[in-house]
Amino acid sequence: MVLEEIVQPLVKWYRDNKRILPWRDKDNAYYTWVSEIMLQQTRVEAVKPYFQRFITELPDIQSLAECPEEKLLKLWEGLGYYNRVRNMQEAAKTVKDEYNGRLPEDYRALLSLKGIGSYTAGAIASIAYGEKVPAVDGNVLRVISRITESTEDISRQSVRRKIEQQVSQIMPSDCPGDFNQALMELGAVICVPNGQAKCAECPIAFTCLAHRHDKADMIPVKAPDRKSTRLNSSH
């Protein structure tokens, strides 16, 4: 099995079948950032109205940086984990003061901002700016583990780093954002967890070792007694 074989069919599938989402294909780094932070602990359908309301009231970095806390928390009400939006405002203030109000294009610079971890930095850099960096969330960990039939514990940081490296090695230079989103989309709607994977609908089932050996419901492995890594979050 050659992992590179998934790239073309996966990107084509994504472009033909991707869900229409209010933050998608907007070429707006701020929208990507807001949506990714909201999606850390909340399902896509639930996030949609919150996202629309948030960007209507706070359409850019400057408005977020200058928003009174009471209003900010009210806009976030219902999403929970209020530290996320407090961290966003701190990061927005930094971007306003140090980057002329525009989220930096560089992955490392994004990573230095409050509340932005490797996944969120990768998502912004690749989706909004076309930088060739991975964005590995829980969906991607599951997809790659199944394709390679890996039984390594995905809650381990060393395994996450290994999968980030695998994704980096096959990432197409001309569409890193679409490729990252394709992996995430596949995990969200096809290669779903808990024994419900829709392998018959999967565009890359032909190269998936877990599917070939009828082990999709057994992968990924995540040790139950370990303190769980927040797979879809920034640190």
CATH of the domain at 113: 1.10.340.30
105 and 176 in a single domain? The answer is no
Both 117 and 144 in one domain: the answer is no
**What confidence score (pLDDT) does residue 205 get?**
96
Answer yes or no: do 102 and 40 share one domain.
Answer: yes
3-class secondary-structure state, position 223: coil
Could you list the active site residues?
Answer: 36
Over residues 152-161, the pLDDT tens digits come to: 999 999 999 9
Q: Do residues 114 and 37 share a domain?
A: yes
pLDDT for residue 168: 97
pLDDT at 1: 57
12 is a domain residue: yes
**152 and 114 in a common domain:** no
Are 124 and 138 found together in one domain? no
Tell me the average pLDDT across 110-135: 97
- Burial pattern 90-109, b for ≥16 Cβ within 10 A else e, equals ebbbbbbeeeeeebbeebeb
In a domain, 14, yes or no: yes
Please tell me whether residues 68 and 55 are part of one structural domain: yes
**Structural domains of the chain, count:** 2
What is the SS3 assignment for 101? coil
The distance in angstroms from the start CA to the end CA of the chain is 33
Interval 114-141 mean pLDDT? 97
Q: Pick the residue with more confidence: 233 or 178?
A: 178
Same domain flag for 7 and 37:
no
Phi, psi of 99 (to 5 degrees): -130, 25
Q: What is the pLDDT of residue 229?
A: 39
Residue 226 has pLDDT above 60, yes or no: no
User: Within this chain, do residues 36 and 124 fall inside the same structural domain, yes or no?
Assistant: yes
Residue 54, pLDDT > 50, answer yes
Query: Is 234 part of any domain?
Result: no
What pLDDT was estimated at residue 196? 84
- The range of the structural domain enclosing residue 55 comes to 29-129
Within a domain: 173 = yes
Mean pLDDT of 169-176: 97
Evaluate if residue 228 carries a pLDDT over 80: no
Phi and psi angles of residue 208, each rounded to the nearest 5 degrees, phi first: -90, 115
pLDDT score for 225? 53
CA distance linking residue 160 with residue 165, whole number of Å: 9
- Of the candidates 166, 168, 163, which has an alpha carbon nearest to the alpha carbon of residue 219? 163
Distance CA 25, CA 27 (A): 6
